[in-house]
Amino acid sequence: MKKSTFKKLVCLVMAMALIVALGVTAFATENPAPIKIGGIGPLTGAVAVYGVATYNGAQIAVDEINEAAGYTAIEFNFQDDEGDNEKAVNAYATLQDWGMQVLYGTTTTGPCVAVSAETNTDRYFELTPSASSPDVTAGKDNVFQMCFTDPNQGITAANYVKENELGEKIAVIYNNADAYSTGIAQAFVAQAEELELEIVEQQTFLADTDTDFSVQINACKDAGADMVFLPIYYTPASNILRQAKDIGYAPTWFGGDGMDGILTMEGFDTDLAEGLLYMTPFDTTSEAGVAFVEKYEKLYGETPNQFAADGYDCIYAIWQACQAAKVTAETSHEDACEALIETFTSEDFAVDGLTGNGMTWSANGEVAKAPYVVAIVDGVSVLQ
Amino acid sequence: MIGLISNLISGVSLGSVYAIIALGYTMVYGIAKMLNFAHGDVIMVGAYICFCGINYLSLPPVVAVLLAIIACTALGIVIEGLAYKPLRSAPNLAVLITAIGVSYFLQNSALLIWKSDPKVFPSIIKLEPIHCFDGQLTIGGVTLVTVLCCIVVMVCLTLFISRSKTGKAMRAVSEDKVAAQLMGINVNRTISVTFAIGSGLAAVAGVLLCSAYPTLIPTTGAMPGIKAFTAAVFGGIGSIPGAMLGGILLGVIEIFAKAYISTQFSDAIVFAVLIVVLLIKPTGILGKKISEKV
């Protein structure tokens, strides 16, 4: 008696479960399955700042798209590479196993060169938010960049210096062990010579962890440079500004987009950066920019840098291209790759984002957009 | 000419930072006969504690520096007790490897606690720079304070070791541990005291290092630590005035190599000079002659 009641009960429960399950599947088929976008970047390690920013920015875009769609339109899986080439390739393999259709990344240049060699052979479409070296895209039709290339930035900088007469005698301090820094510096010097600007001094250093820049600063001072171009990251730059002040040297400082973030360094004396000019793709004063900054600050408790904005734009660009090319969850990564390449390089494909309006891409993967120049006035960056 | 002098000043400034770190190395080596490779990382911890004291607890700089000294002294005693004391009779190589282990442990702990993004050390030395030759030449306040600190520490250490009772015990332990023990000296305690003083010095070095070069990351102490060790060997390891001399010479050579030969090769040149010095004077510039007994 008891046993049969139990059996009946089990049957009933199972039947109900079946109905529920059927109902769920029936309901789910109304919405298309999500497109799988994989991401790679350093979430830990020495360059974690960039990876975390690109991850957070992209996550905001994914959440916005899913919210607007009313269902999960994009499934996003971001893997940590610690800024290491080998780990990035491992992360890429993990994402392949997961069933990734499109790759968003990688964040830093070295790992990106390593991973894009693989994606090129395996045919995955790849859009990097921040790996800016031409090596990333060279000879690979499937890799595109959201940030402007290093030479592009150097040329813009030289033009800006010429137009605004920032200095008569110009010095450059750059990290010649770093592709990003060297790339900008060389293009800057070449363009400056073209424009007949006078470069009086070129100084180098070897690692972003170097702390003593007295030799480089003394050399610039001795050469009488009234403007120093710093196509370097903000960590060494903060040391340079401090040490120049210590010896009473105050030229006009002009930096690349690596300078973005100097004001957010914990404990940094913002007086040192007063008057510093730098290039950035991200206009925080635009309407969309203000909204993004507000949202980011609310979610992550810190001010987003340009990498976060680049990441945000990447996801929207991929999403927009997927829709234009009719890429769905069923599209294989090979087909998605070809379709997206065609879309990205087609003439009528343009993306409006935080980091530029009407961004288009050339067949070699470079984005067309102009950097903004901002100056630090009273401890905040102001668009010039 | 002005360029030459300002590079010389930069060299002395960098060298005095090396010197003050080297003092810690050389003292521990001279007495405990071991290379404390974790010294550079104790410096980093000291700098972080001072940074936290000023930025988070809003302590006045002097109190923050004192806090850093106390914390580092305690850290030194704990490290010595946990990691080195059990190895007192082990071969030197085991102690050396342990020291490298401690160094990694400290770096990674700092990475966990303070994360990897660089912090900027506040300028706590408010001394005005000195201008000479119509402002063409400027000597930074930090440079003056570092050199001064270095001299004061050197004199104090020398006096302490040559005059005080504990200093006498240290010298005895340094000469012969077993004989010192037979004479009623507590060898373990003496070595612990040496470590405590060395680590306290590390805190001072950390504050001075980060005042001159303000970026603070978990590996801040690593490279200066290695350079300072080189400086200590250069000047004659175990000799306190030697550490100071070695440090300043190393700083000047490094800056001159950077300025007049090549930025890329400056480190190679520094180490090449070290090799030459060691070939000519194997015990360093002020090192004691060691007569090997056969």
Cβ pair B216, B119 in contact under 8 A: yes
Per-chain mean pLDDT for chain B: 88
Same fold? A35-148+287-370, A151-280? yes
- pLDDT at residue A368 tops 90: no
CATH architecture of A35-148+287-370: 3-Layer(aba) Sandwich (3.40)
pLDDT for res B252? 93
Instruction: Determine which of A247, A263, A270 to mutate to test the interface with B (most B C-beta atoms within 10 Å).
Output: A247
d(CA A200, CA A191): 15
| pTM of the model as a whole | 0.78
pLDDT for res A12? 66
The first and second tokens of residue A93, run together, are 């393999």
Average pLDDT, integer, range A69-91: 92
Confidence grade of residue A29 (pLDDT, cut at 50, 70, 90) = low
SS3 content of chain B, % helix, strand, coil (to 5): 75, 5, 25
Confidence grade of residue A3 (pLDDT, cut at 50, 70, 90) = low
Q: Report in angstroms the alpha-carbon separations of B7 from A203, A216, A219, B11.
A: 15, 10, 9, 6
pLDDT for res A19? 59
pLDDT tens-digit map of B152-170? 998 999 999 889 999 999 9
Confidence grade of residue B199 (pLDDT, cut at 50, 70, 90) = very high
Q: Classify the phi-psi angles of A356: left when phi > 0, otherwise alpha if psi is within -120 to 50, otherwise beta.
A: left
User: Of B30, B42, B20, which is closest to residue B154 (Cα–Cα)?
Assistant: B20
Cβ pair A213, A173 in contact under 8 A: yes
Chain B residues whose CB is inside 8 A of the A242 CB are: 123, 214
Instruction: Out of A45, A206, A239, name the one closest to residue B116 (CB).
Output: A45
User: Of B102, B84, B108, which is closest to residue B38 (Cα–Cα)?
Assistant: B102
Calculate ∠ Cα B162-B165-B167, nearest 5°: 45
Confidence grade of residue A18 (pLDDT, cut at 50, 70, 90) = low
SS3 content of chain A, % helix, strand, coil (to 5): 50, 20, 30
pLDDT tens-digit map of B37-95? 899 999 999 999 999 999 999 899 999 999 999 999 999 999 999 999 898 888 888 98
ipTM of the prediction: 0.81
pLDDT for res A339? 93
Average pLDDT, integer, range A290-300: 92
Chain B residues whose CB is inside 8 A of the A269 CB are: 120, 122-123
d(CA A284, CA B262): 41
User: Of B20, B62, B285, B42, which is closest to residue B151 (Cα–Cα)?
Assistant: B20
Query: Which positions 92-121 of B are in contact with A (Cβ < 8 Å)?
Result: 115-121
pLDDT for res A92? 95
The first and second tokens of residue A84, run together, are 């290491």
Backbone angles phi, psi at B110, to 5 degrees: -65, -35
Question: Is the Cβ pair A246, B129 closer than 8 Å?
Answer: yes
Q: Minimum mean pLDDT among A48-57, A164-173, A236-245, B136-145: which range?
A: B136-145
Q: Minimum mean pLDDT among A23-27, A247-251, A369-373: which range?
A: A23-27
Question: Is the Cβ pair A204, B264 closer than 8 Å?
Answer: yes
How many CB atoms are located within 10 Å of the residue A332 CB?
Answer: 10
Beta strand A277-280 with B130-132: parallel, antiparallel or unpaired? Answer: unpaired
Does the domain spanning A151-280 belong to CATH 3.30.70.2740?
A: no
**Closest residue on chain B to A269 (Cα):** B122
- pLDDT at residue B149 tops 70: yes
pLDDT for res A13? 67
Residue with the bigger pLDDT between B131 and A297: it is A297
Q: List CB contacts of A309: < 8 A, sequence separation 6 or more.
A: A57, A281, A282, A289, A292, A353, A354, A355
B8 touching A (Cβ < 8 Å): no
- pLDDT at residue B221 tops 80: yes
Confidence grade of residue A378 (pLDDT, cut at 50, 70, 90) = confident
Instruction: Out of A222, A239, A265, name the one closest to residue B3 (CB).
Output: A222
Size of interface A-B (CB pairs under 8 A): 96
**Closest residue on chain A to B144 (Cα):** A246
pLDDT for res B142? 82
User: Of A137, A135, A138, which is closest to residue A146 (Cα–Cα)?
Assistant: A137
Confidence grade of residue A170 (pLDDT, cut at 50, 70, 90) = very high
User: Of A352, A318, A317, which is closest to residue A35 (Cα–Cα)?
Assistant: A318
- pLDDT at residue A14 tops 70: no
Instruction: Out of B118, B140, B263, name the one closest to residue A246 (CB).
Output: B140
User: Of A237, A129, A262, A128, which is closest to residue A178 (Cα–Cα)?
Assistant: A237
Cβ pair A130, A108 in contact under 8 A: yes
Return the domain boundaries, chain A. 35-148+287-370, 151-280
- pLDDT at residue A232 tops 60: yes
Residue with the bigger pLDDT between A310 and B129: it is A310
How close A53 comes to chain B (CA, Å)? 12
Chain centroid to Cα A190, Å, comes to 26
